[in-house]
Amino acid sequence: MKIQHQTDQKAYSSDGFIGRYQKLVRDTVIPYQYSVLNDKAEGAEKSHVVQNFINAGKAVRGEDAGDGFYGMVFQDSDAAKWIEAAAYSLHNFPDPELEKKVDDLVDIIASAQDEDGYLDTYFTIKDKDKRWSNLLEAHELYCAGHMMEAACAYYEAVGKRKLLDVMRKNAEHIYSIFIENGHGGFPGHPEIELALMKMYRLTGDEKCLELAKYFINSRGTDPDWYKRERAARDWTVWGNNGEDPDYQQSGVPLRKAVRATGHAVRAVYLYTGMADLAAETGDKELYEACRRLWDSITKRQMYITGGIGSTVIGEAFSVDYDLPSDTAYAETCASIGLMFFASRMLENEVRGEYADVMEQAFHNTVLAGMQLDGKRFFYVNPLEVVPGISGKAQTQRHDLTQRPSWYACACCPPSAARLISSFGKYAYGENADTAYCHMYAAGTVSFANGMKLTCETEYPYGFTIRYKVSGNGRLALRIPHWSGGYTLTQNGNDVSAKPENGYVYTAVSDGDDITLTLDDKPRFVYASPKIPRLSGYASVCRGPLVYCFEGADNSGDVLSLRLDANSGIEVIKREDAPDGAPVLKVRALRAKAQDGLYSTGKPVYEECTAYAVPYCTWGNRGENQMRVWLPAKI
């Protein structure tokens, strides 16, 4: 039996902080993204996603394919991620009108499937004869994976299996290509590996498990595979020549991998599939490879915000300790993928560090990827922006000061929506006798082992978490690494249990009241001296939240500030704070302006007060400077 597994999404409903975000996704994000898919959103770039499926359906029936295909080669995945987000939302908030929209879209998608099970609008409309000849770039398996995830989510949410049947037929087709016909190769953009594992667990289809094993076990056994594939065709999508196997995570067999490399989203999607397969099959060698890759990311290549992938060149990991603030890439999807990876690592071994990182990525980078009104989105998440430089200088055009409404490459907005709506799947886990609380949020969760928890908390702004227990068993509560101390009471009596691998375990009975109180003190955090440009800098954090300094709170200028790290940090309330979040107040020094670009005179500092707001709320008050890290008087 697994150590623990994810709790079924159907068993969870949320209130409070997470509930507000889920309602925002329901009321604003899902309707807006639906209008984008249908090219009806004012001010957003043309998507053509739904029309691509309609046109592909015409092509399948031998009719004129209308205005053809438009958009990115992976455009189909936008529809899949929207369906997945809608499915999770329908569980949280049943809505016949939304369900009807999903059903109608599923009908359109089903009509675009070829008789042999193939489903991809780009090739169905444009280049049927080129199917499966460009695994490196063409994203056929990536799109299939996302649609498989959508099919599983929608079936689990409302019990309708039309899309699930479509994708089982698609999986049969892929099985025939790669297993029965020996096509060879593996996905240029990993994703289908984790999706096949979901399909396997839901349907019991052994072919899905065999396919997942094949793609994972074959990857890296032939580092030149993509080069030969490229040489065999006279066309390309992106111009990728397959010459850099490390960028494709295919330089070595995955069981021998020691370092996370290449495109960050692809990497963590792949590692998620690896960890999932290891947990399902008990493959300890594969899990040990995942451990090495986990350490490579979280100990040497991760921003304090849980962002990963530091360079815009290839949206990729760079080298160890290369974590610049002002040119950071830190794609929203990469942090979402890191959460996926962490959740599957927890299924192999319950260790607090996995949930710590999952929480770090969610409450900082993932939430920062969406504006507080749910109408605008960040693809890239820098830790420093300066109007006039950020978004304009050649090296920083990707680091924007304000969130756009949409993107031609629109992977991040729907991924954020599906993650937020399915929060309970990551917050809780279980086995036969234990309920695991990995992340904290108000709401109610029912476990397959018969236990039920009702949680009251203001987390992440408040640090008292109260549970009302129904049923009998054990409760495992994570003690975050940032919490300097904690208290735990059961029916008003102190519980003296010590944490085991980051979790405190206690036996509970029906009707018990459990209260966990974590450390609410804000803290200065310092970077490793191995990280260039951060020596002598400090950041401020409270609970799981990384804070940042915006010009809006600091006389328009944070570049001249220097923190006094010998002082305390005060938590205050301000009516103008974004999201009503607690504000951190700290003593600082401000350098007076000097004439000229350079000066021989020593800087003159004035004492002042600096104010910081949660990083996840930045960029909601117009264009202004922002910094997570400031020079510090230590």
Distance of CA 3 to the CA centre of its chain: 23
Which of these is catalytic: 152, 290, 333, 411? 411
DSSP letter, residue 433: S
Distances (CA, A) of 110 to 1, 35, 104, 207, 566: 37, 20, 10, 21, 63
Q: How many other C-beta atoms lie within 10 A of the C-beta of residue 240? A: 17
Is 8 buried (19+), middle (13-18) or exposed (0-12) by CB count in 10 A? middle
Cα distance between residue 322 and residue 311, in whole Å: 9
Long-range CB contacts (< 8 A, 24+ apart) of 393-401? 395/327, 396/326, 396/327, 398/312, 398/329, 399/326, 399/327, 399/328, 401/619, 401/623, 401/624, 401/626
Two structure tokens written together for 607: 């004492």
Return the H-helix or E-strand segment holding 59.
helix 49-60
- Distance, CA of 437 to chain centre: 19
Give the span between the Cα atoms of 55 and 69, in whole angstroms: 7
What is the DSSP secondary structure assignment for residue 46, as one 8-state letter? P
**173 CB-near residues (< 8 Å, 6+ apart):** 116, 117, 118
Peptide bond preceding 460 in cis form (omega within 30 of 0): yes
Residues 6+ apart with CB under 8 A from 27: 374
Residue type, 531: I
Beta carbons of 45 and 37 less than 8 angstroms apart:
no
Q: Is 594 left (phi over 0), alpha (psi -120 to 50) or beta?
A: beta
Q: What is the DSSP letter of 535?
A: T
> Is residue 208 flagged as an active site residue?
no
Residue among 280, 315, 347, 550 flagged as catalytic? 315
Q: Give me the count of residues in the chain.
A: 634
For 365, the token pair is 């980078």
Give the residue carrying structure tokens 């987390």: 459
Spatial CA neighbour of 134 closest among 151, 120, 115: 120
Tokens 């915006």 sit on residue: 550
**Active-site residue, 315 included:** yes
> In angstroms, what CA-CA distances link 626 with 115, 325, 385, 601?
54, 11, 5, 27
Measure CA 277 to chain center: 20
* 250: DSSP letter: -
Residues classed as catalytic: 315, 411
